[in-house]
Chains A and B, each alone.
Chain A
Amino acid sequence: MARYALRFAGLSYLAVLLVAPVGLVFWRTFEHGLAPVWHAVTTHDARHAFWLTILIALIAVPANTVFGVGLALAIVRRRFPGKGLVNAVVDLPLALSPVVVGLALLLLYGRLGWFGPFFERHGIHVVFALPSMILATIFVSLPFVVREVVPVLREIGTEQEQAASTLGASSLQTLVRITLPAIRWAIAYGVVLTTARCLGEFGAVSVVSGHLVGRTETATLYVQDQFEGFDLTGAYAASVLLALIAIATLVAMNAFRPKEATR
């Protein structure tokens, strides 16, 4: 009896808090059929917003993947002074509100910031332009690959790597042939989470972008803009497209995953 009660409570919680809101958005979106939705997401501004979101993700995800794997290797396999601090700082983006991140970037790269004037002199606009939006997105999505890879690296240990070295493999060969294949699913999961976070980023980007319609407006900002402009169909349609892209990433990753690794 208690088992059923627990199961019921768990499912209700999910239903009320997760499934219902997302389901409602889907329902409201397609209330009047497919045509208005298609029309809403193919306007110039909408297309630009989605393109910008994808562009930012295409830069931020690879950057955080390479950096994340490197940092995880350093944390698990190397000893260096300040390692504990580094390990803690990695989690900072999870603890910090994205709005704070955005403000910090403004302080650094804004016209009156530390580095702002330097870039302005060289004709590079960081704030209210693509560079700061990429920086903000990289910041908020930084921990995911590191946090997925670190425990797996710990678990596989160093014996396989040592075996490879006694068999004549250089450090680079060991990394490419032994270590990376052993952690590939952790990396893949980290990439999925990073991608989802990049696609959904709102707060930090909202602060540094300046909301310039058709220029510095990402998909999430576009949704907010349409919503505030009482274009509910546009807002819902963009939301649904955003959700579909995220779901597609997850599904693609699971589809590529061979049966061997699911055990």
Chain B
Amino acid sequence: MSIVVREISKSFGEFAALRDVSLEVPTGSLTALLGPSGSGKSTLLRVIAGLERPDTGGVSIAEEDVTAEAPQRRGVGFVFQHYAAFKHMTVYENVAFGLRIRHRPRTEIRERVGELLRLVQLEGFAERYPAQLSGGQRQRMGLARALAVDPKVLLLDEPFGALDARVRKELRAWLRRLHDETHTTTVIVTHDQEEAMEVADRIALMNEGRIEQVGTPRDLYERPGNEFVMSFVGPVNRVGDAYIRPHDLELCSEPNGSTQEAMVERLVHLGFEVRVELVRDDGTRLSAQVTREEAAALELDVGQIVYVRAVRQTTFTS
């Protein structure tokens, strides 16, 4: 059940949200639309769902052109950032909604809802109202509700954006496991590159209404196509025209031909890793990443002078 987006443009008044965007989401994949806010990722997702009508271009789902179809007839499951829970219905009624609209027999609905509530670990909560659930539980209910109608594709719009960091991490891992079991073609919108890298097998990185690059998380990280991709998918130092990842900076206690002098300004201990904030004579700042052992071996301390060398750097010819 692939998704094909062809040359979509969409403006809101003067603001061009999408500019001639084309994208293919292969069957069974979990693709992330990643980008800063205002990059058009949510608009693209809503165009796929039919909640937004594109100015030009088309959308196909499972080889069928659905550009003119209403959201009701596209066979998509949609999960909203702020849950969009039906507040006057119980968890059971929320999940059963799509099945009741389809006039499925009562016994079938009961079985299917029970099965889904088990899947999202909300078995004991069927009679509760959304107001009595935590954010994470509400979003799991939203997922069950979307999955109930056996959608051809599952679309998630910043599904974990409103949750705290710990719950977000749990749900991410859980979503990945769910996808590995069901293999439903899934598109997830996120502004968090770590989330995209962790959960998706493909990432489409968006910026200012365009797709900058599509590829596996590793592709984007190791072979970024331009400066924007380079700096969005991970922390980066810019020295002249060169971009250097913090873990590609080597720190030495003695100078050797190719090194440059810098002073340790700040040390941030992040468990296994230590982030070293450096400042050079000319005032440029660098951020290096070393392991705890390396930091200990160098006896790093604030104010200390170290010698820095780039192991690997990337330049873009534009």
Are chains A and B native binding partners rather than an unrelated pairing?
A: yes
- Residue ranges of A at the interface with B (Cβ–Cβ < 8 Å): 159-160, 162-170, 173, 177-178, 181-182, 260, 263
Assembled-state Cα–Cα distance A233/B97 (Å): 58
CB-based contact A168/B80 at 8 Å: no
Closest A-chain residue to B83, C-beta based? A159
CB-based contact B78/A162 at 8 Å: yes
Contact with A along B75-94 (1 / 0, CB 8 A): 01110101011111000000
Given the contacts A162-B78, A173-B101, A260-B129, A167 and B84 also touching, CB distance less than 8 Å? no
Assembled-state Cα–Cα distance A48/B97 (Å): 49
21 contacts between A and B (CB under 8 A): A159-B80, A160-B85, A162-B51, A162-B78, A162-B80, A163-B86, A164-B97, A165-B71, A165-B72, A166-B49, A166-B51, A166-B146, A167-B97, A167-B101, A167-B145, A168-B102, A169-B101, A170-B72, A177-B97, A181-B88, A260-B129
Closest A-chain residue to B89, C-beta based? A181
Chain A CB within 8 A of B133 CB: no
Given the contacts A181-B88, A182-B88, A166 and B76 also touching, CB distance less than 8 Å? yes
Known contacts A163-B84, A163-B145, A165-B71; 11 further A-B pairs (Cβ under 8 A): A160-B87, A162-B51, A162-B71, A162-B78, A162-B80, A165-B51, A166-B49, A167-B146, A168-B101, A169-B101, A182-B87
> Taking the nearest CB of chain B, how far is it from the CB of A158, in angstroms?
9
CB-based contact B88/A166 at 8 Å: no
Q: Interface residue count for B (Cβ, 8 Å)?
A: 28
Chain A CB within 8 A of B161 CB: no
The 10 A-B residue pairs whose C-beta atoms are closest, nearest first, are: A167-B98, A159-B84, A163-B84, A166-B78, A181-B88, A165-B71, A168-B101, A166-B71, A169-B101, A168-B72
A168: chain B residues within 8 A (beta carbon): 72, 98, 101-102, 149
A263: chain B residues within 8 A (beta carbon): 131
Given the contacts A167-B98, A168-B98, A169-B101, A159 and B82 also touching, CB distance less than 8 Å? yes
Assembled-state Cα–Cα distance A162/B70 (Å): 11
A181: chain B residues within 8 A (beta carbon): 88
Assembled-state Cα–Cα distance A170/B98 (Å): 11
Assembled-state Cα–Cα distance A182/B87 (Å): 8
For chain A, what secondary structure do more than half of its interface residues adopt (helix, strand, loop), or is it mixed? helix
Assembled-state Cα–Cα distance A263/B86 (Å): 17
CB-based contact A160/B84 at 8 Å: yes
B82: chain A residues within 8 A (beta carbon): 159
A170: chain B residues within 8 A (beta carbon): 72
Assembled-state Cα–Cα distance A166/B156 (Å): 12
A177: chain B residues within 8 A (beta carbon): 97
B50: chain A residues within 8 A (beta carbon): 166
Contact with A along B123-157 (1 / 0, CB 8 A): 00000010100000000001001101100000000
B84: chain A residues within 8 A (beta carbon): 159-160, 162-163
Closest B-chain residue to A162, C-beta based? B51
B87: chain A residues within 8 A (beta carbon): 160, 182
Assembled-state Cα–Cα distance A173/B103 (Å): 12
B129: chain A residues within 8 A (beta carbon): 260
Assembled-state Cα–Cα distance A181/B93 (Å): 14
A166: chain B residues within 8 A (beta carbon): 49-51, 71-72, 74, 76-78, 146
B51: chain A residues within 8 A (beta carbon): 162, 165-166
Cβ-neighbour of B72 out of A169, A178, A260 (below 8 A): A169
Assembled-state Cα–Cα distance A87/B87 (Å): 28
Contact with A along B266-282 (1 / 0, CB 8 A): 00000000000000000
A162: chain B residues within 8 A (beta carbon): 51, 71, 78, 80, 84
> Taking the nearest CB of chain B, how far is it from the CB of A167, in angstroms?
4
Assembled-state Cα–Cα distance A260/B90 (Å): 12
B88: chain A residues within 8 A (beta carbon): 181-182
B101: chain A residues within 8 A (beta carbon): 167-169, 173
Cβ-neighbour of A163 out of B74, B78, B102, B131 (below 8 A): B78
Given the contacts A178-B86, A182-B87, A167 and B80 also touching, CB distance less than 8 Å? no
Closest B-chain residue to A165, C-beta based? B71
A159: chain B residues within 8 A (beta carbon): 80, 82, 84
> Taking the nearest CB of chain A, how far is it from the CB of B312, in angstroms?
45
CB-based contact B70/A163 at 8 Å: no
Assembled-state Cα–Cα distance A177/B142 (Å): 17
Closest A-chain residue to B74, C-beta based? A166
Closest B-chain residue to A159, C-beta based? B84
B148: chain A residues within 8 A (beta carbon): 167
> Taking the nearest CB of chain A, how far is it from the CB of B35, in angstroms?
21
B71: chain A residues within 8 A (beta carbon): 162, 165-166
A160: chain B residues within 8 A (beta carbon): 84-87
Assembled-state Cα–Cα distance A119/B137 (Å): 62
Assembled-state Cα–Cα distance A177/B86 (Å): 10
> Taking the nearest CB of chain B, how far is it from the CB of A78, in angstroms?
15
B142: chain A residues within 8 A (beta carbon): 163
Closest B-chain residue to A181, C-beta based? B88
> Taking the nearest CB of chain A, how far is it from the CB of B127, in angstroms?
13
Assembled-state Cα–Cα distance A173/B70 (Å): 14
